[in-house]
Structure 1
Amino acid sequence: MISEELLQECIDEYKAVCHRKAALFDGNGELLAASGGDASWPESLLSMEKREAFLASGGEVWAGEGFCLFRIQWDGRTNGIFLAEGTIEENRGAALMTVGCLKRIYTAAGKRKGRKQILKELLEGKLTGEEEECRSFNRFRKRGEDGWIVFLIEGNEGCEGDVEAVLSELFAFEKRAEAVKIGEGLVAFACPLPDQEETAALTISDTISGELMIKVRVAVSRKVYGLDGLSKAFKEAFAALEIGKIFYRDRQIHLFGSLGIGGLIYHLPVPVCEGFIRDIFGTDTIPEIDDELLDTAYRFLANNLNLSETGRQLYIHRNTLVYRLEKIHKETGLDIRSFDDAMAFKTGMMIGEYMKYKKQ
């Protein structure tokens, strides 16, 4: 970890020796230190657009009006920009010595962790948001009131790098957003957003499916404020993904705040679930119902117990539908044409799915 005071001291010494103002930006263009501790002059002199243009140019030095820039690079990666007042010729020797000194400072500090590693440790609760390593996630604090959302994207094994690339391009407008591989086929994405998490999740799912030609599930946490909340948000997104795979397999988007009865069942103790199954069905396991009857039951429940609409959607005669419902009644002991039995049937079947998951 690199001390801000040490970087500030290095910049102040340059000013004292060369009698020229100087400043230091990190590899993302964020101001780290300015001579005299005055952040106003480098921010006004060098806009974010100019910093990003220099970072993208690949050049070692760059001359502006009344100032010059020197790239700080090691391990083949740009990690900073040194800004000095005056021309390149006036600053070259001293600036290159300062750049070399800054490289040694970073090397002595063991080199800073990458943003992806920092995010991973924040999600896992191994870092707190107040640590200096997290500075790059705190840029543009004026936008912090939007709060952070954690998305968990699950796709095919080996797709992680491609998913990260798609997310980086899709959310290029948000400099603090970052994606990181969590496991095989699993990518976590943290992004500050306003109240648009469901829309963002749909966009993520559609874009990845369209560009990579793979199906993905996207789980979404509730909004948290501050980097310290990312660990909680990650746990919520992970729970939403698991609950979605158990109870809502036909859906691709799973919001932690909209898990319904599945979210309740997921947190029930196993003995309670087993007791409910016995009370409802009279056995220790849910009855075996063929796929046709099960599809009929779920469609009937989805249509709010409406016989006509269910028959229309299934392309069957009303009498055929009634026959199937009576067959379900015979096999389960529940007449799902009544509201109470319908709720008991739905809850019992969901608990049955949960019990299968727990046994795996």
Structure 2
Amino acid sequence: MISNQILQNTIDGLKSITRIDLSVIDTDGQVVASTYPDSDGCEAEALSFVDSPADSQVVQGHQFFKVMDDQHLEYILLAKGTSDDVYMIGKVATFQIQSLLVAYKERFDKDNFIKNLLLDNLLRVDIYTRAKKLHIDTEAKRVVYIIETKHEKDTNALETVRTLFASKSRDFITAVDERNIILVKEVKVGETYEDLEKTAAIVIDMLNTEAMSTAHISYGTIINDIREVSKSYKEAKMALDVGKIFYSQKNVVGYSKLGIGRLIYQLPIPLCQMFIREIFEGKSPDDFDEETLSTINKFFENSLNVSETSRQLYIHRNTLVYRLDKLEKSTGLDLRVFDDAITFKIALMVVKYMKYMESRDNY
């Protein structure tokens, strides 16, 4: 169904071109859009016209037209005046609204199809049958983006994304819940994951400037067949969660760049607890003071380079060595040794994951 605002914009545009007043009345006799105030007195005539076999008629200085949608009466259009020119404009307006009904119904059908595709609610044979009926290419390369906005039901953000991709008829924008906007984007020949990252950055910038909205974006892997859209969607969902845990400083996270975080995210919590207990003998690696944690993180950032880490921390090299020795005594892990460093890094990530899951369960 077309919104009343769309109908109002349509007849306002037609009046500005033709200077003919128009009004749209629904089958219950209610005026839903009008360019002039005295159309309110025509409801009774409109209701009588609903039962008339005629497609158009002249009543009390107005020409009445039936707006049909697939042989079903949707609206009554009124054109003010009785001349042949008014009749012609009325027919044009009727055709325009009927075309809008078809376009919006097709968009609605495509939207439903994409939603069911994302949620894996369709049989394989139904996917190809419905895609063919809706003129959707089944073999185009695509990728799924999830755009999570700060506020629920952020209509400004949704309209901004729709506007950004409005000219690209092979892309689909929908929503499966109140916070996430889903973009199923066609991937052109030669496009890489770096290009997908740039597209996400453009969307972030547009949302910040146009919709005054902050967002996080994740995306799945590029797929080659329409039945794999749900796979890319599930990957994007995982990337969104993993990004919140391990890459909270990033606004854009791709599934292909999740690294070891993707593996940790799929571990059962009891196994994580056992790992921490066995490695640290009941202690937790995040129980260290702020100074020790900042030293550890900086050491990892600099690929276990003692000289560069001490320089960036503005401390003497021997001071850093002393801190690392102290850490080794308390944990049994020497971060200057690659295997021990990997163990400690994974432990930190496991603890982050456990805390995230605990907070989500409490929420």
The equivalences for 1:167-316 within 5 A come to 167-194=161-188, 195=191, 196-283=195-282, 285-316=284-315
* 3-state SS, counterpart of residue 344 of structure 2: helix
Alignment pair present for 1:157 and 2:151: yes
How far the C-alpha of 1:145 sits from its partner, in A, is: 5.3
Specify the alignment match of 2:130 in structure 1: 132
The aligned counterpart of 1:328 is 327
The offset of 1:261, in angstroms, is 0.6
In structure 2, C-alpha distance between the alignment counterparts of 1:159 and 1:321, rounded to whole Å? 50
State TM-score, norm by structure 1: 0.64
Contact 2:286/2:348, CA 8 A, preserved across alignment? no
Give the drift of 1:214.
Answer: 3.9
For residue 100 of structure 1, the aligned residue among 54, 68, 72 is: 68
Report Cα offsets for 1:145-197 as digits up to 9, x if no partner: 55111111122113632222222222233112222233343221111123332
> Which stretches in structure 2 are left out of the alignment for 5+ residues?
3-9, 16-25, 34-54, 57-63, 76-104
The whole-number CA distance in structure 1 between the counterparts of 2:222 and 2:155 is 26
Deviation at residue 247 of structure 1 after TM alignment: 1.7
Native 8 Å contact 1:160 1:186 kept in 2: no
Q: Write out per-residue CA displacement over residues 267-311 of structure 1, whole angstroms, 9 at most, x where no aligned residue.
A: 123333223212321226445022332222122112111122223
Structure 1 Cα separation of the partners of residues 147 and 304 of structure 2: 35
SS at match of 1:294: helix
Q: Deviations for 1:108-133, whole angstroms, at most 9, x for unmatched residues?
A: xxx66454443322211224533537
How many Å separate the matches in 1 of 2:220 and 2:121? 19
Distance 1:170 1:216 in 2: 15
CA 1:135 to 1:302, structure 2 compared with 1: closer, same or farther past 3 Å?
farther
Distance 1:173 1:317, change over 3 A: farther
Pairwise CA RMSD: 3.7
Q: Secondary structure at the match of 1:305?
A: coil
Alpha carbons 1:287, 1:331 under 8 Å: kept: no
Percentage of matched positions with identical amino acids:
34
Rg larger in structure = 2
8 Å CA contact retained: 1:160, 1:187:
no
Q: Secondary structure at the match of 1:153?
A: strand
- TM-score relative to the length of structure 2: 0.64
Match of 1:347 in 2: 346
Q: Deviation of residue 240 (structure 1)?
A: 0.9
Give the Cα separation in 1 of the matches to 2:200 and 2:11.
30
Q: 1:210 to 1:336 in 2, by over 3 A?
A: farther
Q: Distance in 1 between matches of 2:272 and 2:324?
A: 25
**Residue 322 to residue 125, structure 1, CA distance change in 2 (3 Å):** same
After superposition, the Cα gap between the structure-2 partners of 1:275 and 1:359, relative to the gap in structure 1 and judged at 3 Å, is same
Cα distance, 1:358 vs. partner? 2.8
Aligned to 1:51: none
**Separation of aligned partners in 1, 2:116 and 2:206:** 27
Question: 2: CA distance between counterparts of 1:257 and 1:106?
Answer: 48
* Contact map agreement 2:67 2:73 (CA 8 A) in 1: no
- Deviations along 1:27-58, whole A, 9 cap, x unmatched? 9xxxxxxxxxxxxxxxxxxxxxxxxxxx9996
Check 1:286–1:146 CA distance in 2 against 1; reply closer, same or farther (3 A cut). same
SS of residue paired to 2:182:
strand
